[in-house]
């Protein structure tokens, strides 16, 4: 056991003090922060932008004033993004107007063309929008033009049935206020940010598990490959058993992962407190988080140790790891669904897929699901059994693979190694 700890200690120190680790560790939150700030600044789109030209053919002939009005209002409120309307001649009917608009589009005289049917007001016609290779930078203007045209039609419909649109809007308007009360005295209005935070906490926890497992797992690959390619491995194996070596590596890197997770978690918690967001994290969740993380990491890193041992270069490992990584993408893609129904059959099902158990269970628990202690115990037991199985098999592959150079063994050969006593 002392040898395992010694190896773990070296693995931890050597990993933590590498430049890539320190850089990734500090830079990732920094980059995320910068992205958030930048994207919030992006919202107000300063700087003059292209004027977008929209050709409009109003075959109903009743809307031109309303359309003009709508675009004028838009242009007044969007100083840096103007939309110019070019009215098309509608005297010759739909086909001619449509053809005229398409011609202008193809020749690049306009960016979009809209043809409103003659019977648009009574509800049977429609607005047709034509574009020709639209640039991504004018998409927002195209959406705006579409909604201005639609509003113009709706306005006209109110006029036709003689109902005051503003009156209706007033009738439909019911102010609401969401209040989150705290345990103590005093109540506070729940800010939008608070609700967002509530939504994001489960995702953050799941992401921490993901980063702790997958991000740290990469170090396992590079560590094994380095020892293999520098031929230090035989010297090591003259002093320790392959199992001690693998165990030490897993333990050391699990420590690295816990460091990352607690620093990021702590940082995020600090940021939340600083922003006066209440994040409710129970002790039970914390304990389960750590247990799930450690078990998940042991399974994943044992898998990586086995994989690394049969490869000679990092490049080789990447092609082998691709399918494994795809599995971990599942909860990242489906997280919203899982948060919405943490006790649904999808959530429950994925909880019992061992590679996903840590991510899904932590997501569910932090999403406020009353996951029963029976289910926690069952998933942990299944995960533990898988960890033991994977480590047992990985140790056998590791034992043989670590001393093999040259051609990578085939699947059949690896299965043979696993069967060896």
Which chain residues interact with another protein by CB under 8 A?
2-3, 6-7, 10, 14, 227, 230-241, 403
Nearer to another protein, 58 or 227 (CB): 227
In which element (H, E) is residue 7 found?
A: helix 2-16
Nearer to another protein, 39 or 230 (CB): 230
Q: In the bound complex, what is the minimum distance in angstroms from residue 250's beta carbon to another protein?
A: 16
Q: In the bound complex, what is the minimum distance in angstroms from residue 229's beta carbon to another protein?
A: 9
404-408 — which CB contacts under 8 Å span 24+ positions? 404/310, 405/228, 405/312, 406/312, 408/310, 408/311, 408/312, 408/316
Nearer to another protein, 147 or 229 (CB): 229
Q: In the bound complex, what is the minimum distance in angstroms from residue 323's beta carbon to another protein?
A: 28
Nearer to another protein, 233 or 261 (CB): 233
Nearer to another protein, 168 or 403 (CB): 403
Q: In the bound complex, what is the minimum distance in angstroms from residue 375's beta carbon to another protein?
A: 40
List beta partners, residue 57.
115
Nearer to another protein, 364 or 399 (CB): 399
245-280 residues labelled b (16+ CB within 10 A) or e (exposed) = bbbbbbbbbbbbbbbbbeebbeebeeebeeeebebe
Pairing of strands 179-181, 187-189: antiparallel
Region of residue 130 (left: phi > 0; alpha: psi -120 to 50; beta: else) = beta
Pairing of strands 112-116, 127-131: antiparallel
Nearer to another protein, 3 or 157 (CB): 3
Cβ neighbors of 209 (< 8 A, separation 6 or more) are: 261, 289, 292, 293, 296, 358, 359, 362
How large is the greatest C-alpha to C-alpha distance in the chain, in angstroms?
Answer: 94
DSSP letters, 160-221, are HHT--HHHHHHHH------EEEPSSS-EEEPPHHHHHHHHHHHHHHHHHHHIIIIIHHHHHH
CB atoms closer than 10 angstroms to residue 92 = 10
Closest CA to 214 of 167, 256, 269, 174: 256
Q: In the bound complex, what is the minimum distance in angstroms from residue 11's beta carbon to another protein?
A: 11
Q: In the bound complex, what is the minimum distance in angstroms from residue 345's beta carbon to another protein?
A: 48
Q: In the bound complex, what is the minimum distance in angstroms from residue 255's beta carbon to another protein?
A: 17
Whole-number Å distance between alpha carbons of 67 and 164: 18
Q: Is 87 helix (H, G, I), strand (E, B) or coil?
A: strand
Q: In the bound complex, what is the minimum distance in angstroms from residue 8's beta carbon to another protein?
A: 11
Nearer to another protein, 7 or 397 (CB): 7
Nearer to another protein, 2 or 315 (CB): 2
Q: In the bound complex, what is the minimum distance in angstroms from residue 25's beta carbon to another protein?
A: 19
Backbone angles phi, psi at 85, to 5 degrees: -100, 130
């Amino acid at each position: 056991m002392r040898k395992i700890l010694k190896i773990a200690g070296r693995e931890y120190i050597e990993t933590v003090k590498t430049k890539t680790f320190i850089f990734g560790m500090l830079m990732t939150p920094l980059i995320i922060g910068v992205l958030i700030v930048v994207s919030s600044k992006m919202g107000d789109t300063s700087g003059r932008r292209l004027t977008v030209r929209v050709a409009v053919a109003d075959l109903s002939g009743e809307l031109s004033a309303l359309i003009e009005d709508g675009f004028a209002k838009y242009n007044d409120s969007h100083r840096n993004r103007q939309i110019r309307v070019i009215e098309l001649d509608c005297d010759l009917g739909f086909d001619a107007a449509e053809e005229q608009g398409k011609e202008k589009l193809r020749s690049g005289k306009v960016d979009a063309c809209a043809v409103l049917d003659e019977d648009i007001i009574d509800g049977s016609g429609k607005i047709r929008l034509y574009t020709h290779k639209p640039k991504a930078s004018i998409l927002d203007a195209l959406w705006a033009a579409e909604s201005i045209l639609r509003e113009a039609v709706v306005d006209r419909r109110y006029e036709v049935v003689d109902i005051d649109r503003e009156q209706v809007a007033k009738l439909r308007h019911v102010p609401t206020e969401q209040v989150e009360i705290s345990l103590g005295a005093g109540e506070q209005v729940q800010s939008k940010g608070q609700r967002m935070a509530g939504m994001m906490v489960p995702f953050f926890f799941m992401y921490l598990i993901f980063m702790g497992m997958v991000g740290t797992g990469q170090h396992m690959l590079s560590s094994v490959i380095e020892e293999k390619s520098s031929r230090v491995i035989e010297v090591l194996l003259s002093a320790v058993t392959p199992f001690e070596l693998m165990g030490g590596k897993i333990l050391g890197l699990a420590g690295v992962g816990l460091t990352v997770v607690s620093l990021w978690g702590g940082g995020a918690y600090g940021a939340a407190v600083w922003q006066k967001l209440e994040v409710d994290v129970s002790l039970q969740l914390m304990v389960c988080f750590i247990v799930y993380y450690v078990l998940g990491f042991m399974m994943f890193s044992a898998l990586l140790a086995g994989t690394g041992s049969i490869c000679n270069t990092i490049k080789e490992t990447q092609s082998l790891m691709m399918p494994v990584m795809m599995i971990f993408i599942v909860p990242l893609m489906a997280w919203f669904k899982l948060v919405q129904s943490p006790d649904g059959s999808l959530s429950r099902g994925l909880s019992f897929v061992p590679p996903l158990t840590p991510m899904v269970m932590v997501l569910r628990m932090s999403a406020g699901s009353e996951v029963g202690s029976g289910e926690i115990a069952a998933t942990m037991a299944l995960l533990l059994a898988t960890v033991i199985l994977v480590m047992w098999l990985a140790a056998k592959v590791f034992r043989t693979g670590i001393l093999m150079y040259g051609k990578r063994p085939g699947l059949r050969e690896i299965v043979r190694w696993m069967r060896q006593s």
